[in-house]
A and B are shown apart, each in its own frame.
Chain A
Amino acid sequence: MIRNLGKYMFMLYHIFFKPEKFSVYWRRFLDEVVQLGVKSLFIVSLMSAFMGAVLVIQTATAIESAWIPDYTVGFTIKQSMLLEFCPTIISLILAGKVGSNIASELGTMRVTEQIDALEVMGVNSIGYLVGPKILAALFIFPIVIMYSMFFGFFGGGLVCYFTEIIPVKQYILGIRYFSEDNFVFIRYALTKTIVFAFIITSISSYYGYYLKGGALEVGKASTNAVVYSSIFILFANYILTQLMLI
């Protein structure tokens, strides 16, 4: 446990070494933005739209009462999506998609001696391989999550439009209700996202970079990356919620 923590800290320390050539690292950063963020947009938008749609139906059914105004559904969706569904659930999905991708990529590079090749050349392999991944995730994940929020509301809106479960106008009114608190909620959501982005990329990189063995271990590293990233996301979610919302 302490040994693993030490190696993890050692890895993080090496990320901050001066790059051999900034332009090469910049290109790596842009590649990672595409790989980790842009290529996740389809699954994120699909998940978010369906999450929003299902939430609208569930909420509208659960609070069906003459005493509760229809816009409450929109308001509840906003709160759920902003506070929990988009930052946490989408981050857990990204931990599965991006985390396993990072661990298997770095693990394969380790097994096929590509990391050794970088070291022999005199390249800081951690800085070159892991650094751009972490920075790219810190940059792109908040954008992905805002995109997810939009598609979540949009999915809910579509359900209202096609099923008339509540009027669309009421739904939008609910989303805009108490909008003075929105800034606090979005700040909270994005803070969580940045922490989760760091957890996903650093833990997955750790399992891939320090892999020992062959193809079988690449699979194990990939699984470990997803499992531990998810556990630490849930743990960090609780801590941050207690710190920021209470």
Chain B
Amino acid sequence: MIQVKNISKSFSGVEILNDISFVFEKGKTNLIIGKSGSGKSVLTKCIVGLLEPDIGGVFYDDIKFSSLKSHDKKKVRKQIGMLFQGSALFDSLSVEENVAFPLRMFTKMTEDEIFERVNFCLKRVNILNKNSLYPSEISGGMQKRVAIARAISMKPKYLFCDEPNSGLDPVTAIVIDELIQELTKEYEMTTIVITHDMNSVLEIGENILFIDGGVKKWEGSKDEILDVKVKELYDFVYVSKFLQKMKK
């Protein structure tokens, strides 16, 4: 479980996040949704410690992460897997080396054990016979799946996915969404997905936080979101004419 309490963050006097509190539950796909520029990525960066919140705190289970020293933060970070918007695979490393990277860096596993774990993770995300290829030699959807394989290679307790299906076709996007949800259940992880894709919301949104203009406007689940009365969220959900017709 990850909890954020009263988080506020400003840049050069401009308030990006204002007093956000939320509980991201274990074993569920927790979604942070909102329009572009609403503060989703800043909130995520505050949670993973890439940014320091001005006010408030981030708790990983019972540990107040935001007030830990750099050395102690590293211990928590080893339990975090993250899928970045652009995959963020290391260009100079092959698919296999990318997935093996955290294992080589942080474990005392032998090369055979690493090889076995890498192949297991790649097989789990349905990437076969691509071990020696470089990120630039595989498609965007494959890059996302390799990045997921890298994120789960250390068996993390927390998984972050920043717009996991941006730039992907609808079919591949659903495959990625389903994969994230399956892995969340399989490893009992606390998964946080940042998205503005309504298909993802309706597919995997078990626990949803909606933010608008840096303020928390709504929380609930995918079953409740279609009957929502909050204007900002209603406008966000029913932005397409198709959904508006369906609603009528």
Main secondary structure, interface of B, reads: mixed
B84–A113 touching, CB < 8 Å: yes
* A64: Cβ under 8 A from any B Cβ: no
CB-CB under 8 A from A123, the residues of chain B are 105
CB-CB under 8 A from A122, the residues of chain B are 73-75, 77-78, 80, 106
Interface residues on B, range: 20 to 34
Least CB distance from A101 to B in Å reads 12
Residue of A nearest to B85 (CB): A113
CB-CB under 8 A from B106, the residues of chain A are 20-21, 121-122
CA distance A114 to B50 in the complex (A): 13
B82–A117 touching, CB < 8 Å: yes
CB-CB under 8 A from A21, the residues of chain B are 104-106
CB-CB under 8 A from B102, the residues of chain A are 121
CA distance A113 to B44 in the complex (A): 14
Mark each residue of chain B from 79 to 114: 1 if its CB lies under 8 Å from any CB of chain A, else 0. 010101110111100000000011011100000000
Q: A20-B106, A121-B102 are in contact. Are A113 and B77 (CB under 8 A)?
A: no
Least CB distance from A17 to B in Å reads 9
CA distance A21 to B75 in the complex (A): 15
Residue of B nearest to A111 (CB): B86
Give which listed residue, B73, B74, B88, contacts A117 with CB less than 8 A.
B88
Main secondary structure, interface of A, reads: helix
Within 8 A of B (CB), among A1-42: 20-21, 23-24
A24–B105 touching, CB < 8 Å: yes
Least CB distance from B193 to A in Å reads 15
CB-CB under 8 A from B48, the residues of chain A are 120
* 10 other A-B residue contacts (CB within 8 Å) besides A122-B74, A122-B75: A21-B105, A21-B106, A113-B88, A114-B91, A116-B84, A117-B82, A120-B48, A120-B49, A122-B106, A123-B105
Chain A residues in the interface with B (C-beta under 8 A): 20-21, 23-24, 108-109, 112-114, 116-117, 119-123
Sorted nearest first, the 6 A-B pairs with minimum C-beta distance are A122-B77, A122-B74, A117-B88, A113-B88, A113-B84, A120-B82
- Selected A-B contacts with CB under 8 Å, 27 pairs: A20-B105, A21-B106, A23-B104, A24-B105, A108-B91, A109-B90, A112-B86, A112-B91, A113-B85, A113-B86, A114-B90, A116-B50, A117-B82, A117-B84, A117-B88, A119-B49, A120-B49, A120-B77, A121-B78, A121-B82, A121-B101, A122-B73, A122-B75, A122-B77, A122-B78, A122-B106, A123-B105
